[in-house]
Amino acid sequence: MSCETETAVVLRHAGQKITPQRMLILSTLRHAGEHVTAPIVLEAVRRLYPYVDASTVYRTLGSAAELGLVSETDMGAGDTQFEWIGRDRHHHLICRSCGGVSSLDNSYLDSLATALYDEQGFQADLGHFAIFGVCQNCRV
Amino acid sequence: MSCETETAVVLRHAGQKITPQRMLILSTLRHAGEHVTAPIVLEAVRRLYPYVDASTVYRTLGSAAELGLVSETDMGAGDTQFEWIGRDRHHHLICRSCGGVSSLDNSYLDSLATALYDEQGFQADLGHFAIFGVCQNCRV
DNA sequence: CATGTAAGTGCAACTAATCGCATTTACAAC
DNA sequence: GTTGTAAATGCGATTAGTTGCACTTACATG
Ligand SMILES: [Zn+2]
Ligand SMILES: [Zn+2]
Ligand SMILES: [Zn+2]
Ligand SMILES: [Zn+2]
C-alpha cells in the first residue's frame, strides 16, 4: 500500500473527505524532512496546485494533528513546527543555552502515560513534546 | 517583601533592567487569574499606561518565561495562554472530547526529570505542559 | 551627581494564524 | 448516473505575533 493510500485510509476511517488539497498537503509534509512550518508547506503545495489557500493548510494540519498523523509544536523559534508522525512517536530536548535540539524516545514518557491513566483515568496522547532545559555540554 | 519587590529581585538577579513597563506587565499577569492571553494583558496594561506597545508585552512575557516566572502554553484555543508561575509548578490535562481542563501536580513529572538528568545529562525545565487526551468521563 | 553604555521601548512594516461566510465538492443513498 | 447533504475550500477581513531600527532609559562606574 502506497503511503498516499495509507493516509487516505486513516482519513476515511476518521470520517474525513479525501480531497486533492488534503492529500497534497499531507503528502508534502510526509515527504518533507523533520519539522517544517505551515508557510513552507503552503509554498511547496502551491508549486503543484497554485490556488490552495493558507487557511486550508492550517485547517488540514490542525485536523491531522488531532488524528495523530501530524505533530504541531512550538520549538522555541517564532513559528509553529509541523512534522509527519504516523505511528512512531518521539520528543525533543531543546537547550536554552546553545539551542541544540536532540530527539528523545517516546519510552521516556511511558510511565507518565501509565500514571495518568491509572491515577486520573486520563488517556493521554503524548504526541510530540518540546522539553526545554540545559544540555550536558552547557551545564558548568 | 511585596510581590513587586520580589519580582524585581528576580529580574535584577537575571541581569534585566527594572522598567515601569516590565513591572506593570508582570504585575498584571501576577494578579490576573489563570491563563490570560497577551492581547488581554496589553489591554489591561494600557488602561494604566496607555503608550505600551504590543511588542513590549510579547518580549516581556517571552523573557519572563525563560526566567521561569511565567508560562507560555498553547492550550488548544487559538491563542497562546500566559500564566504567572513563580515557584509552584503545575500542568494541565485537556480533554479533546469535552474540552475540560484540569490541573496536574508537578510531581507527576518528577521521575521524567530525574531520568532525563541521569540518562541524558539534560537539566529539564518542565515548566507548564498541556497534555491532550481523553478524560475519564469521555471514555466509553 | 555626571557620564557612558548596553538593554529596553516604541514605531512601523511585516508575517503568521484565525474566523465567518458564500460556494464548491466528495460521497452516500437511491 | 442523479440527487441530497454535510464537509471542505477559498476568499476577505481581522487578529496574533515578529522583527529591524532609531531613540530612550536604567543603572553601573567614577
Ligand atoms: Zn520531532
Ligand atoms: Zn546546550
Ligand atoms: Zn496553568
Ligand atoms: Zn472529556
Sort residue A44 into left (φ over 0), alpha (ψ -120 to 50) or beta.
Answer: alpha
Give the A:B interface size as CB pairs under 8 Å: 80
Nearest to A93 among B120, B133, B136 (CB): B120
Of chain A, the percentage scoring pLDDT greater than 90 comes to 81
Q: Does B3 score more than 80 pLDDT?
A: no
Question: Is the Cα torsion angle B77, B82, B83, B85 positive or negative in sign?
Answer: positive
According to the model, what pLDDT value does residue B1 have?
Answer: 60
Q: Which of B10, B20, B28 is nearest to B87 (CA)?
A: B10
**Co-location of B39 and B69 in the same domain:** yes
Per-residue pLDDT of A68-78, as tens digits, reads 999 999 998 88
Q: Can you give the CATH number for the domain in which B117 is found?
A: 3.30.1490.190
**Co-location of A131 and A72 in the same domain:** no
Q: Does A1 score more than 70 pLDDT?
A: no
**Co-location of A27 and A73 in the same domain:** yes
Closest residue to D7 (CA to C1') is A17
Residue A57's pLDDT band (boundaries 50, 70, 90)? very high
Nucleotides of C under 7 A from a protein CB: 7-13, 15-20, 25-28
**Co-location of B71 and B104 in the same domain:** no
Mean pLDDT of A106-131: 95
Show residues of chain A in contact with B130, CB under 8 Å. Answer: none
**Co-location of A64 and A106 in the same domain:** no
Residue A2's pLDDT band (boundaries 50, 70, 90)? confident
Cell numbers 541524558 correspond to what residue? Answer: B120
Chain B contacts to A (CB-CB under 8 A): 66, 74, 93, 95-96, 102, 104, 108-109, 111-112, 115-116, 120-127, 129, 131-136, 139
Q: What is the mean pLDDT of chain A?
A: 93
Per-residue pLDDT of B81-139, as tens digits, reads 999 998 889 999 999 988 899 999 999 999 999 999 999 999 999 989 999 999 999 88
- What is the B137 CA–ligand 4 centroid distance (Å)? 6
Q: Does A15 score more than 70 pLDDT?
A: yes
Which A residues between 85 and 104 have a beta carbon under 7 A from any strand C atom? Answer: none
Q: Give the DSSP letter string of B32-72.
A: S-S-EEHHHHHHHHHHHSTT--HHHHHHHHHHHHHHTSEEE
Q: Which of B103, B29, B18, B33 is nearest to B62 (CA)?
A: B29
The residue out of A59, A84, A109 marking a domain boundary is: A84
Residue A33's pLDDT band (boundaries 50, 70, 90)? confident
- How many domains is chain A partitioned into structurally? 2
Q: Is B30 helix (H, G, I), strand (E, B) or coil?
A: helix
Q: Which of A50, A53, A40, A45 is nearest to A25 (CA)?
A: A45
Task: Report yes or no: A27 and A54 within 8 Å, Cβ to Cβ.
Answer: no
Q: Does A43 score more than 70 pLDDT?
A: yes
Contact B134 A123 (CB under 8 A): yes
Nearest to B133 among A95, A123, A131 (CB): A123
DSSP one-letter code for B14: T
Sort residue B128 into left (φ over 0), alpha (ψ -120 to 50) or beta.
Answer: beta
Output the pTM of the full model: 0.92
Give the residue from chain B lying closest to A115, CA to CA.
Answer: B108
Residue B78, domain extent: 3-84
Q: Which of B110, B44, B117, B40 is nearest to B80 (CA)?
A: B40
According to the model, what pLDDT value does residue A98 have?
Answer: 86
Per-residue pLDDT of B41-89, as tens digits, reads 999 999 999 999 999 999 999 999 999 999 999 999 889 999 999 888 9
The grid coordinates listed for A27 are 503528502
